[in-house]
Amino acid sequence: MDYRLQLLKRHIFIELPEGLTLIDTGAPFSASVTGRLNWDGADYPVYRGGYLGFTFTQLKSELGLEVRGLLGMDLLSRRSLHFSLAGEKLRIGSPLPSGWTARGYGAIPGTELPLFAARLNGLAAKVAWDTGAQFGYVTDPRFTAGLKPLPGFHDFSPLFGDLDPETSFELPVELDGHAFTEHVATAPETDHGGVSPIPMGPYLRFAGIDAVLGPGLLRTADLWIDPAGRLSALRPLTS
């Protein structure tokens, strides 16, 4: 089954019968305004209105979009996913494309949330791939050492609250031999009003995460991922 994939306000979305739906590989659970989601030909009960401090009213306020659903890894992990932002397509249940090479990946302990081995600014790192994040975050300044400081940005996370880092960076990333950049800041070490009792930096380090990567990868490559087998493969876009 295919869905039209689109990038809006630095997030990726598809249209489900319920309406505009956020694809969020960083969310363990799915939710919708109605408490139901029709996904991949089946109707599922999901959290109604949000969870863990997240609400669709809040999402509309942050993005200015009428988002009606959020697809988390409880549903996304049921079958393989082929993301092609350039082709505006999310294909469900497809085999590994011919000529692609699949490699194993990890997961955040106790979850299905993807955790990839990568290199950040030349340094080995474990990175969480979070399509619900509009920016990336690193947990240690060594990953941005020597990079040109850029102005900060405004961000919001239900877990960690309002995030307004003063400085950001264009971080060189290498994943499975493919090089791209992600706009990142250093994860905050102090509380910013989210539902998590632990600030982002310590929270990520406790989970064994060196960085969170957002939408940068899909701007430069197509990605196939099989959560059941914990396999992934990518194909860089040609210019």
Here the tokens at position 13 are 């979305």
Same domain, 112 and 211: yes
Same domain, 84 and 114: no
- Which of 29, 60, 92 delimits the end of a domain? 92
Please state the domain count of the chain: 2
Asked whether residue 98 is domain-assigned, the answer is no
Tens-digit pLDDT profile for residues 161-200: 888 999 999 999 999 999 999 999 999 998 867 778 889 9
Tens-digit pLDDT profile for residues 204-219: 999 999 999 987 889 9
Same domain, 56 and 122: no
Same domain, 112 and 183: yes
Backbone torsion region of residue 160, taken as left when φ is above 0, otherwise alpha when ψ lies between -120 and 50, otherwise beta: alpha
Task: Name which of 2-6, 27-31, 160-164, 174-178 the model is least confident about.
Answer: 160-164
- Which of 36, 67, 92 delimits the end of a domain? 92
Distance CA 31, CA 83 (A): 21
User: Residues 6 or more apart from 43 whose CB is under 8 A from it?
Assistant: 36, 37
Same domain, 124 and 201: yes
**pTM of the complete model:** 0.91
What average pLDDT is seen over the chain?
Answer: 92
- CATH number, domain of 133, equals 2.40.70.10
Same domain, 51 and 144: no
Same domain, 125 and 160: yes
Same domain, 194 and 152: yes
DSSP symbol at 144: G
Q: Which residues pair with 8 in a beta bridge?
A: 11
Phi, psi dihedral angles at 136 (to 5 degrees): -100, 165
- Which of 68, 92, 116 delimits the end of a domain? 92
Same domain, 110 and 88: no
Same domain, 225 and 194: yes
Quote the domain boundaries for residue 32.
2-92
Same domain, 74 and 112: no
Same domain, 37 and 121: no
